[in-house]
Copies of this chain bind each other. A is one copy, B any other.
Amino acid sequence: MNQIISVESLWQKIKFAENGLIPAIAQSIETKEILMLAYMNQESLIKTLQTGKIHYWSRSRQKIWLKGETSGHLQFLEQIYLDCDGDTLLLLIKQIGPACHTGKPNCFFQQINFSKDLSLPEEIK
């Protein structure tokens, strides 16, 4: 069974990495598909909890990133979970439009055909 923890307790349990970030998995609460993985810092997590709209930390732009601010493809927080050792978040969300910047519904559209082809990387052949 799930344990319900308070936000106050969250701040005690959460472990941001040395770079101040924690990975956050976004899963559709409707379809259960994994939409994307991105990173949050403390400020983006606070903004997410305060507004109900998912804010990440953009590692490429080095700034807070309201998901969908430009595209309109917002993500609304329905449920949020912290994992057993406090270093990963799971977000159950309602996604407006496609989650991926490519226009695909989710970011995991490259399926690796590993059943027949077990070639090794060039550098260790």
Contacts and interface: CB of A to CB of B under 8 A. Distances in A.
Interface of A: 1-8, 10-11, 13, 23, 25, 27, 32-34, 36-37, 42, 46, 49-50, 77, 79-85, 88, 90, 100-102, 104, 107-114, 117-122, 124
A120 B84 contact: no
Q: Copies per complex?
A: 2
Nearest to A82: B110
Contacts of A13: 110
A111 B4 contact: yes
Given A37-B88, A119-B7, A83 B112 contact: no
Contact of A108 (B11, B90, B102, B114): B90
Contacts of A113: 4-7
Given A4-B111, A50-B118, A83-B108, 10 more contacts: A4-B112, A6-B113, A7-B112, A11-B119, A11-B122, A46-B120, A79-B111, A80-B114, A81-B110, A81-B111
B104 A10 contact: no
A79 B115 CA distance: 10
B112 A82 contact: yes
